């Protein structure tokens, strides 16, 4: 329970106590009782100290590398090899010490974990240099990640888990960079799945902590990158549905697993909501629905087919989450946002109904119809979010709804054939909507 208390609020309250006693609002006994009440609420480990300890160990590791790199060529291969292993052996000794003697100290666990994985990277790179071992950066990242994940679990390090997820994204970019467009991203998902049990452990222990929140946000962002790489590799033109699926999964997970009091939203749900809005706006452009027979006629590899299956897992997961809540009659999410994969799927079917042009991406009546569906959906979504914001007295939500409508208007301003008068009127309506909605909300707030 203590974990969800706002430490800033407690600090403020404590600073007010002498003033409240002096002005006679509360007695000094009351002040003592309040002080005593919050004494047990002190966090066991100082968050800043954990960060400093982690940073310190990373700097020590980096310093060792720099010292070794100096005059490296004067040393024999054997000496260089011994030096390469030294930091790793020291780090491993510290891990054993921490596990046996400092197992309950979070700063120790976090710092030693970072030191161990940094020493491992040092050993691999120094050996690679000493023995002129060739290999790509993505090979190095893959080996490093595979050897580091166990440390996350053994030392229960959330910073380590966050660094691991970022490492997975770095691997993804190295393997699927602009110089190697054919990199298979399936391993990315496998590496990412390895950290999921740790996220579940953190979730069970302390779902409301800042670290757990950061971990799930980083994981969600990493998944968004992963879907992009997977869609590119799969080359099956179902990326739109996959993106709508992952955005909805993020939104639903934020709503379902991180419920907040007073109608507030967890940052994961906010990220999912923003992702749904962005995907919807992007798909409202007709050019994104141009289909061709080219994709279907390319011979498909089994790896590319696996990538398609991975892509389709996201909308399926989103639909399962929606179905589960509908069956249990516990709908705590915005239905208009959650139906994003269904609407996108419908638009995809419509776009594929026409006879596809051969080899060229070009406009058809079906691609126009698909884009129209997405435009209507974006408008409905914007209005629904706006209405929700007004209903729940949330200025941020109402403005987000308006922003979505405005973004839609701006996009159509640039790519549609509407007359200047129609565009002008459209902008006036959206602008007036902003003013009226905000005026209403501020008035209502002032009244309450």
Partner 1 sequence: MNMLRVLTFGVVALAQLGVPAAMVWQREQTLKHGRVWKFRTAPVDPVDAIRGRYIALRFAAEEFDAPEKFESGNKSAYAVLKQDKDGFAEVDHLTTRAVETDDVVPVESAWWYKGKQHVRFPFDKFWVAEANAPAGERAYVANNRRDKQNAYVTVKVRRGDAALDQLFIDNEPLTEYVRSHPSG
Binder of partner 1 out of 114, 124, 255, 407 (CB under 8 A):
124
Q: Does 309 bind partner 1 (CB under 8 A)?
A: no
Q: Minimum CB separation from partner 1 for residue 159, in Å? A: 18
Nearer to partner 1, 104 or 415 (CB): 104
DSSP per-residue codes, 401-447: HHHHHHHHHHHHHHHS---HHHHHHHHHHHHHHHHHHHHHHHHHHHH
Contacts (Cβ under 8 Å, ≥6 apart) of 291: 237, 351, 352, 354, 356, 357, 361, 364, 366, 367
CA distance 225 to 246: 10
Q: Does 100 bind partner 1 (CB under 8 A)?
A: yes
Q: Does 302 bind partner 1 (CB under 8 A)?
A: no
Residues 340, 265, 192, CA angle at the centre, nearest 5°?
Answer: 65
Binder of partner 1 out of 28, 79, 129, 305 (CB under 8 A):
129
CA distance 88 to 398: 53
Q: In this structure, are residues 253 and 275 in contact, taking their beta carbons and an 8 Å threshold?
A: no
Q: Which CA distances in Å does 380 have to 125, 159, 431?
A: 54, 40, 17
Q: Does 69 bind partner 1 (CB under 8 A)?
A: yes
Nearer to partner 1, 50 or 151 (CB): 151
Q: Does 395 bind partner 1 (CB under 8 A)?
A: no
CA distance 329 to 307: 34
Q: Does 190 bind partner 1 (CB under 8 A)?
A: no
Q: Does 90 bind partner 1 (CB under 8 A)?
A: no
Instruction: Give the interface size with partner 1 as a residue count (CB under 8 A).
Output: 33
Within 10 angstroms of residue 352's Cβ, the number of other Cβ atoms is 16
Q: Does 358 bind partner 1 (CB under 8 A)?
A: no
Q: Does 103 bind partner 1 (CB under 8 A)?
A: yes
Q: Does 76 bind partner 1 (CB under 8 A)?
A: no
Report the candidate in 295, 300, 303 with the shortest Cα–Cα distance to residue 351: 295
Which pair of tokens denotes residue 324? 């589960």
Q: Minimum CB separation from partner 1 for residue 88, in Å? A: 6
Burial 61-83 (b: 16+ CB within 10 A, else e): beebbeebeeeeeeeeeeebbeb
Q: Does 86 bind partner 1 (CB under 8 A)?
A: no
Report the candidate in 347, 349, 309, 340 with the shortest Cα–Cα distance to residue 322: 340
Q: Minimum CB separation from partner 1 for residue 157, in Å? A: 13
Nearer to partner 1, 109 or 388 (CB): 109
Contacts (Cβ under 8 Å, ≥6 apart) of 96: none
Which pair of tokens denotes residue 17? 């106590």
Q: Does 419 bind partner 1 (CB under 8 A)?
A: no
Q: List the x/- string, 213-242, binding to partner 1 by CB under 8 A.
A: ------------------------------
Binder of partner 1 out of 51, 90, 147, 194 (CB under 8 A):
147
Q: Does 95 bind partner 1 (CB under 8 A)?
A: yes
List the interface residues with partner 1, window 8-37 (CB under 8 A): none
What is the SS3 assignment for 290? coil
Phi-psi region of 362 (alpha: psi -120 to 50; beta: other; left: phi over 0): beta
CA distance 373 to 368: 9
Q: Does 38 bind partner 1 (CB under 8 A)?
A: no
Q: Minimum CB separation from partner 1 for residue 55, in Å? A: 22
Within 10 angstroms of residue 220's Cβ, the number of other Cβ atoms is 22
Select from 87-95, 192-200, 265-273, 440-448 the region that touches partner 1 (CB under 8 A): 87-95
Nearer to partner 1, 112 or 172 (CB): 112
Binder of partner 1 out of 25, 59, 96, 396 (CB under 8 A):
96
Q: Does 145 bind partner 1 (CB under 8 A)?
A: no
Binder of partner 1 out of 6, 23, 39, 71 (CB under 8 A):
71
Select from 7-15, 33-41, 142-150, 241-249 the region that touches partner 1 (CB under 8 A): 142-150
Q: Does 194 bind partner 1 (CB under 8 A)?
A: no
Binder of partner 1 out of 16, 38, 51, 81 (CB under 8 A):
81
Report the candidate in 404, 92, 138 with the shortest Cα–Cα distance to residue 278: 404
Name the residues that contact partner 1, by CB under 8 A: 69-73, 81, 84-85, 88-89, 92, 95-96, 99-100, 103, 116, 120, 123-124, 127-134, 143, 147, 150-151, 154
């Amino acid at each position: 329970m203590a974990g969800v208390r706002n430490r800033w609020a407690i600090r403020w309250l404590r600073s007010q106590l002498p003033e409240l006693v002096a002005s006679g609002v509360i007695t000094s006994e009351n002040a003592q009782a309040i002080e005593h009440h919050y004494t047990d609420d002190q966090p066991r480990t100082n968050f800043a100290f954990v960060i400093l300890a982690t940073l310190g160990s990373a700097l020590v590791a980096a310093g060792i590398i720099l010292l070794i790199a100096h005059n490296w060529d004067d040393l024999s291969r054997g000496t260089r090899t011994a030096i390469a292993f030294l930091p790793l052996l020291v780090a491993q000794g510290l891990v054993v010490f921490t596990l046996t003697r400092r197992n309950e100290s979070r700063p120790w666990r976090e710092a030693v974990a970072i030191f161990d994985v940094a020493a491992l990277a040092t050993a691999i790179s120094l050996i690679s240099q000493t023995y002129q071992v060739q290999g790509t950066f993505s090979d190095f990242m893959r080996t490093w990640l595979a050897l580091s994940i166990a440390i996350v679990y053994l030392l229960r390090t959330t910073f380590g888990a966050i660094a691991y997820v970022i490492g997975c994204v770095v691997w993804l970019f190295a393997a699927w960079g602009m110089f190697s467009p054919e990199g298979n991203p399936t391993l990315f998902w496998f590496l990412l799945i390895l950290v999921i049990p740790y996220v579940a452990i953190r979730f069970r222990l302390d779902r409301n902590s800042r670290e757990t929140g950061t971990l799930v946000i980083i994981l969600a962002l990493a998944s968004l990158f992963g879907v992009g790489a997977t869609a590119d590799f799969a080359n099956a033109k179902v990326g739109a549905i996959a993106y709508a699926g992952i955005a909805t999964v993020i939104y639903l997970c934020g709503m379902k697993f991180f419920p907040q009091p007073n109608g507030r939203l967890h940052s994961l749900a906010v990220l999912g909501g923003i992702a749904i809005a962005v995907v919807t706006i992007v798909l409202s452009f007709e050019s994104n629905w141009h289909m061709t027979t080219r994709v279907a006629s390319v011979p498909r590899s089994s790896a590319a087919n696996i990538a398609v299956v991975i892509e389709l897992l996201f909308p399926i997961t989103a639909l399962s989450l929606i179905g589960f809540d509908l069956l249990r009659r516990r709908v705590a999410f915005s239905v208009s946002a959650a139906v994003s994969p269904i609407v996108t799927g419908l638009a995809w079917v419509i776009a594929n109904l026409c006879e596809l042009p051969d080899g060229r991406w070009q406009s058809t009546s079906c691609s126009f119809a698909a884009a129209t569906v997405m435009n209507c959906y974006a408008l409905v979504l914007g209005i629904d979010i706006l209405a929700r914001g007004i209903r729940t007295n949330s200025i941020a939500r109402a403005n987000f709804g308006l922003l979505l409508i405005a973004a839609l208007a701006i996009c159509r301003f640039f790519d549609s054939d509407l007359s200047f008068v129609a565009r002008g009127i459209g902008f006036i309506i959206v602008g007036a909507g902003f003013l009226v909605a905000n005026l209403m909300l501020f008035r209502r707030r002032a009244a309450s």
